[in-house]
Amino acid sequence: MNQILEILGLILIIIGSIFLFLGALGIYRMPDVYNRLQAGTKATTLGGMSLIIGVGLIQPDWFWKSLILVIFIALSNPISSHALARSAYKSKIKPFFKGKEEDLDAYKEVVERNENN
């Protein structure tokens, strides 16, 4: 039983580390704030959660504590990234529009409409 739990935990930890690595790569590689936030948050939410659950499975004494941590990450990480993205949008940081100028016009239209409201 313990062996199975340990292997399961190790698999989860490996998945978590892969996602965290991809998140870091995304933050390095993506062109603008919004894309970076997307890569960073999604990857760290899943990566951190599966990593902590994996640790909880390897050490069964810590399982409930790790579950509390996972709930905390599930609540706080999306909210904080939402707040960051919203403040970036509100302070008029332009998204990345290379090669798609018609989308840039649509974006400007939406911003103007929001300002008039």
Partner 1 sequence: MKKVIVLILLAVVAYYLVDVFSQIKFGENRFQGENVRDFYLDKSKNDLHVSNSVTSIVVNFRGFDTLGEVTVLFLAATALGSVLYRRKAHGEAVLFNASTIVRSGAHLLFAPILLLGAYVFIHGHLSPGGGFQGGTIIATGFLLMLLAYHDYKVSHGVLTWVESLAGLTFASLGLTGLILGKTFLENFLPIGTINDLFSGGIIPIIYIAVGFKVGAELTGVLYTMLNEKEYKKS
Binding site residues, partner 1, CB under 8 A = 72, 75-76, 79, 82-83, 86, 90-91
**From the DSSP assignment, how many helices (H) and strands (E) are in the chain?**
4, 0
Instruction: Please name the helix (run of DSSP H) or strand (run of DSSP E) that holds residue 70, with its range, or none.
Output: helix 63-90
**CB–CB of 65/56 below 8 Å?**
yes
Decide whether 12 or 70 has the Cβ nearer to partner 1. Answer: 70
**CB–CB of 47/17 below 8 Å?**
yes
Decide whether 2 or 91 has the Cβ nearer to partner 1. Answer: 91
Go through the chain and tell me how many residues it has.
117
Decide whether 3 or 91 has the Cβ nearer to partner 1. Answer: 91
Decide whether 63 or 89 has the Cβ nearer to partner 1. Answer: 89
CA distance 17 to 33: 23
Cβ 82 to partner 1 shortest distance, Å: 6
CA distance 52 to 66: 6
Cβ 86 to partner 1 shortest distance, Å: 6
Cβ 112 to partner 1 shortest distance, Å: 17
Cβ 114 to partner 1 shortest distance, Å: 12
